[in-house]
A and B are shown apart, each in its own frame.
Chain A
């Protein structure tokens, strides 16, 4: 079936606005990851879900960042009161992890490019 999809692909926000970024993982994939990629840098980990449980949110840069995956499939990354430093590509990845530590291949979405003016 289809790969990981993300929407919107591009988002321009004024500083202070709230934004919501959506990720549709591959059907049946248990694990879902969010990464932030600044221009010219490698991606950096934000948060990780196993089904609906958020097991690690240590990479979220501030309490303005919030992620959820209420039914264990689609996930939303929300950024409140956006700042210019939030401008980046936000990548979502999923993998078919069943339990424990995964060494499974992660499949990446195309990313959402967020620009905060």
Chain B
């Protein structure tokens, strides 16, 4: 079974801290997405990457294809970053349906 594992499940940080969320997957992929879901809200795509590194504002996403691992980093975290962060992958050969991790619930305290 194709699996996506995220860690940690829950994360509490103080405002200003550097945050790392990890994602590991079991087989080769075509692409990996990092998504953000606010309580009661919809899902927003943050990044889609298949190699290397992408940066948008205070968010950085990296992927290591050989190690089948990706990380999402948040620099200078802020309470408004509090949300669930979900890793989702498109496995090679699939039609386009994403396989999701269970998410990491981040809470940033002021």
Contacts and interface: CB of A to CB of B under 8 A. Distances in A.
Interface string B17-51: 00000000000001101010000011111001010
A37 B25 CA distance: 20
Nearest to A108: B43
Given A33-B96, A44-B100, A103 B30 contact: yes
A102 interface: yes
Interface string B70-92: 00000000000000001010100
Interface in A13-53: 31, 33, 35, 40-45, 48, 50
A105 B96 contact: no
B interface bracket (residues with beta carbon within 8 Å of A): 20 to 34
Interface of A: 31, 33, 35, 40-45, 48, 50, 55-56, 59, 91, 93, 95, 97, 101-111
Given A43-B100, A108-B44, 12 more contacts: A33-B98, A41-B102, A42-B86, A45-B98, A50-B95, A97-B96, A102-B96, A103-B30, A103-B31, A103-B48, A103-B50, A103-B90
